[in-house]
């Protein structure tokens, strides 16, 4: 086998492989037998017809085509091994350069390559803000809203009322021949906000609910709104729209008194002050998580700037697909779909892909850098930690998933294996982020800022140290996890 490897600038290689004529001749014989098994040839049982007869019945071209397919299956993995190539994914047969001798050209995407910069020297300021009293009171206000007593009234809508409407929306400047609809007709309840409340994320536009004040059941109104380019809802950015609204009913909302009795209806809180204390703790946790997430992104972006990162176009296309899928999920949560989104922005899917590419590029580079650092820092997950986290995750799933779906998941070896693998990867990534955060904040002493794992303390012969297991070793414990998870059913 003769192999020529040509590196390409897009992190792929063109692999030219030449093999002996005898291999193609053998492949033709196998191809003829395979064809004869699936072609009725009078006088011969399936697979038993001689080569010459199969050649007359099927033709040389069919035999050669089948033979090349068989030969490629044999040659391709051996060529990868001999050339020492680590592919990102399946390669493609680009050209049959010759059949005398048999010569094939394969285009192969390479595994991503990351050359890290000096991330140990990165230092960035870290600021964690405090939870304000107003933030606590906003949560309490939301809890009171949830427990409001609602009753119909025969009068115009007022501040604080719950108004039931039927609404549809369209572009104010429709394009001829195109559907101008941006919100399909739907019925929905609307809480009329108080003057001065933050309505930046109000649906379908800020201040919408207060436009309903003074309207009664049976009234209808057309509301126009010009969305800025940075509008909260992605589908509406930069467009002018009009909304047709019909009032279906008005209801009075009476909020519960803000006292200890209210706190006891919310949960296991003896007093209103105890409720406030717990809310503050929850908000502090949320603020810490959000601050860390934003800080981690800044640190990773800085590392990306210092590093050399190469990956094939197939990885980029796949990540672009993921970005678009995530956008579809966000639109669904906003009661929109991708078609309306594209129409509202006067864009087709090709344009959306172009817009998604910078996001995909950022995500790929951050992920590759993070995984490389996790490898350099030798970040591992012990079986005990993995088992505990798996149990917590299964417990959470058992509470939110339909019982039938949960039973199906925990009874499937493949499903459990995927779940454990995802949990382990998430734990490794979280620990890598935490370590980088400590480095960037200057919390790790110089002696600790090395990629090498410190040597463990010598262990006694009676109690040998347990080495963290690899993913393959953990896979062997799947059956044990499945037995344990079944107890959560």
Average pLDDT over residues 253-269: 93
Contact 212, 157 (CB under 8 A): yes
Of 104-108, 233-237, 306-310, 369-373, the least confident = 233-237
pLDDT digits (tens, 9 = 90+) for 396-436: 888 888 888 888 888 888 878 888 999 999 999 999 999 99
pLDDT of residue 460: 36
Q: Is residue 235 within 8 Å of 182, Cβ to Cβ?
A: yes
Q: Residue 14's pLDDT is what?
A: 96
Q: How big, in percent rounded to 5, are the helix, strand and coil portions of the chain? A: 50, 15, 35
- What is the average pLDDT across 61-79? 92
pTM, two decimals, is 0.72
Task: Find tokens 């010759």 and name the residue.
Answer: 98
Strand-by-strand arrangement of the 2-7 sheet: 2-7, 12-18, 102-109, 92-99
CATH architecture of the domain with range 2-111: 2-Layer Sandwich (3.30)
What's the pLDDT at 462? 38
Return the ∠ at Cα 186 (arms to 185 and 187), rounded to 5°.
140
Alpha carbon 76 to its chain centroid, in Å, reads 32
Kindly report, residue by residue over 123-159, the tens digit of the pLDDT: 999 999 999 999 999 999 989 988 999 999 999 999 9
Higher pLDDT, 182 or 144: 144
Write out the DSSP string of 290-333. HHHHHHHHHHHHHHHHHSEEE--HHHHHHHHHHHHHHHHHHHHH
Question: What pLDDT is stored for residue 23 in this prediction?
Answer: 92
Peptide bond into 204 cis (omega under 30): yes
The structural domains of the chain, with segments of one domain joined by +, span 2-111, 149-254, 311-376, 383-423+434-486
Question: What's the 3-state SS for 133-148?
Answer: HHHHHHHHHHHHHHCC
C-alpha–C-alpha distance, residues 157 and 325, integer Å: 40
At residue 450, the pLDDT reads 45
315-353 pLDDT, tens digit each = 999 999 999 999 999 888 877 788 888 887 878 999 999
CA distance 140 to 131: 14
Same fold: 2-111 with 149-254: no
Fold topology of 149-254: Chitinase A; domain 3 (3.10.50)
Residues 93-117 have pLDDT tens digits of 999 998 889 999 999 999 999 999 9
Residue 467 has pLDDT above 50, yes or no: no
Rg (CA), the chain: 32
Letter string b/e over residues 408-426, b meaning 16 or more CB atoms within 10 A of that residue's CB: ebbeeeeebbebbeebbee
- The answer to whether residues 467 and 381 touch, using CB atoms and an 8 Å cutoff, is no
Supply the pLDDT for residue 174. Answer: 62
Peptide bond into 358 cis (omega under 30): no
Q: How far apart are the first and last CA of the chain?
A: 56
Residues comprising the chain, all counted: 489
Whether pLDDT at 86 is above 70: yes
Q: Could you tell me which residues come within 8 angstroms of residue 139 by beta carbon, excluding any fewer than 6 positions away? A: 279, 282, 283
Show the tokens assigned to 348.
Answer: 């087709």
Given a cut of 70, whether residue 59 has pLDDT beyond it is yes
Residues 356 and 327 sit within 8 Å (Cβ to Cβ): yes
Mean pLDDT, the chain, rounded, equals 87
pLDDT for 489: 35
> Is residue 369 predicted with pLDDT exceeding 80?
yes
pLDDT at 446 > cutoff 80: no
């Amino acid at each position: 086998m003769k192999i020529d490897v040509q590196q390409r600038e897009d992190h792929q290689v063109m692999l030219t492989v030449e093999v002996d004529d005898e291999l193609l001749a053998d492949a033709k014989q196998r191809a003829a037998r395979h064809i004869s098994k699936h072609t009725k040839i009078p006088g011969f049982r399936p697979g038993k017809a001689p080569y010459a007869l199969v050649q007359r019945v099927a033709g040389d071209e069919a035999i050669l085509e089948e033979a090349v397919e068989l030969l490629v299956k044999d040659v391709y993995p051996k060529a990868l091994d001999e050339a020492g190539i680590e592919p990102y994914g399946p390669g493609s047969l680009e050209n049959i350069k010759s059949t005398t001798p048999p010569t094939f050209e394969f285009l192969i995407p390479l595994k991503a390559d990351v050359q890290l910069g000096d991330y140990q020297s990165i230092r960035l300021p870290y600021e964690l803000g405090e939870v304000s009293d107003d933030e606590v009171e906003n949560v309490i206000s939301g809890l009171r809203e949830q427990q409001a007593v609602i009753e119909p009234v025969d009068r115009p809508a007022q501040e604080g009322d719950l108004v039931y409407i039927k609404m549809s929306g369209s572009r104010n400047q429709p394009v001829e021949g195109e559907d101008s609809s941006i919100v399909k007709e739907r019925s929905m309840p609307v809480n009329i906000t108080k003057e001065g409340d933050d309505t930046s994320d109000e649906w379908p536009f800020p201040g919408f609910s207060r436009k309903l004040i003074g309207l009664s059941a049976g009234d209808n109104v057309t509301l126009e709104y010009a969305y800025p380019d940075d509008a909260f809802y992605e589908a509406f950015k930069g467009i002018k729209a009009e909304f047709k609204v019909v009032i279906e009913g008005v209801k009075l909302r009476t909020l519960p008194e803000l006292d200890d009795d209210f706190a006891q209806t919310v949960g296991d809180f003896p007093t209103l002050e105890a409720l406030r204390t717990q809310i503050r703790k929850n908000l502090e946790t949320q603020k810490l998580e959000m601050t860390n997430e934003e800080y981690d992104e800044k640190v990773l972006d800085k590392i990306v700037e210092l590093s050399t990162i190469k990956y094939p176009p197939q990885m980029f296309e796949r990540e672009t697909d993921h970005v678009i899928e995530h956008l579809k999920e966000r639109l669904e949560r906003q009661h929109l779909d991708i078609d309306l989104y594209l129409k509202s922005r006067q864009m087709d899917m090709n344009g959306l892909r172009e817009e998604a590419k910078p996001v995909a590029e950022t995500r790929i580079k951050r992920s590759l850098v993070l995984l490389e650092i996790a490898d350099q820092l030798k970040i591992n997950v012990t079986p005990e930690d993995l088992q505990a986290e798996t149990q917590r995750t299964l417990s959470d799933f058992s509470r939110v998933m339909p019982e039938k779906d949960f039973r199906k998941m925990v009874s499937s070896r493949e499903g459990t294996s995927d779940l454990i693998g995802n949990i382990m990867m998430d734990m490794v990534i979280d620990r890598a982020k935490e370590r980088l955060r400590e480095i960037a904040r200057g919390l790790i002493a110089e002696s600790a800022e090395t990629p090498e794992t410190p040597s463990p303390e010598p262990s006694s012969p009676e109690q040998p140290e347990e080495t963290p297991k690899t993913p393959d070793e953990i896979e062997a414990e799947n059956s044990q996890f499945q037995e344990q998870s079944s107890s959560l059913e």
